Amino acid sequence: MRQKTILRTIPILFVLMANFAHSQTNLSDSIAIDRNNKNKTNMTILGIWAGINIVQGGISSTNAEGSDKAFFKMNTYFNAVNLGIAGFGLAMVRKEMNKQYSFAENLLKQEKLEKLLLLNTGLDAAYIATGLYLKERGARVNNEETAGFGNSLVLQGAFLLIFDLVQYGNHRRNGKLLEKELGNWQIGTTSNGIGLTYRFK
């Protein structure tokens, strides 16, 4: 009798595992696509911001004087780096579009991206702090170039801080969906052995 019970349990277990894999694959695919689309949009925004600053900074720095000239020059230098990051990011997005991830791989990819964005917010805050320091020092020693560089770092750091926080908030919603799906499934022991259960919420 026990053997018959186990034999009846095995097909049910396979069905549950198939449904588990199917539901996770669908969710994983949709979130991977959404993540890539978000990254594409964000890198495009960064590229546009960088392009505007480079063009405007290059033009304005030739006509400005004192701290304003230093401000526009630093905007140009800073955003040359941003433009490179945006270009690299877009290239990575195109590469990611052709990849397929398992649920576990997608979850790790999501977590890695969120941690990177949090790290970036720390760097952004450091840019702002450095800018404030340079601005104060420039005023204290009457160095207009130092003050101008400081003003530029405050502006660029503030933009990037808001930019990265918005990105993190958008991606965190996808991370929660993946974590919720993972948390709904549990492997445990039953009276007939090991079983896979889904918690409906």
Domain ranges of the chain: 2-198
Residue 184: the pLDDT is 58
Cα angle, residue 88 at apex, residues 83 and 89 outer, rounded to 5°: 95
Confidence check: pLDDT of 145 > 70: yes
Q: What is the per-residue pLDDT across 168-198, written as a single tens digit (0 to 9) for each? A: 999 999 888 888 887 654 444 445 544 434 4
- Mean pLDDT (whole number) for 120-138: 97
Q: Residue 103 — very low, low, confident or very high, per pLDDT cuts 50/70/90? A: confident
Residue 195: the pLDDT is 42
Dig out the tokens for 89 from the structure. Answer: 């990011």
Q: What is the per-residue pLDDT across 12-35, written as a single tens digit (0 to 9) for each? A: 444 334 344 444 556 678 888 999
Q: Is 195 exposed, middle or buried (0-12, 13-18, 19+ CB in 10 A)?
A: middle
DSSP string, 1-20: -HHHHHHHHHHHHHHHHHHH
Confidence check: pLDDT of 199 > 70: no
- Mean pLDDT (whole number) for 116-137: 97
Q: Are 101 and 109 in contact (CB under 8 A)?
A: yes
In angstroms, rounded to a whole number, what is the distance separating the alpha carbons of residues 55 and 104? Answer: 43
Dihedral angle sign, alpha carbons of residues 23, 114, 201, 10: positive
- Mean pLDDT (whole number) for 133-149: 96
Q: Residue 121 — very low, low, confident or very high, per pLDDT cuts 50/70/90? A: very high
Q: What is the per-residue pLDDT across 41-75, written as a single tens digit (0 to 9) for each? A: 999 999 999 999 999 999 999 999 999 999 999 99
Q: Map residue 190 onto helix, strand or coil.
A: strand
Q: Map residue 200 onto helix, strand or coil.
A: coil
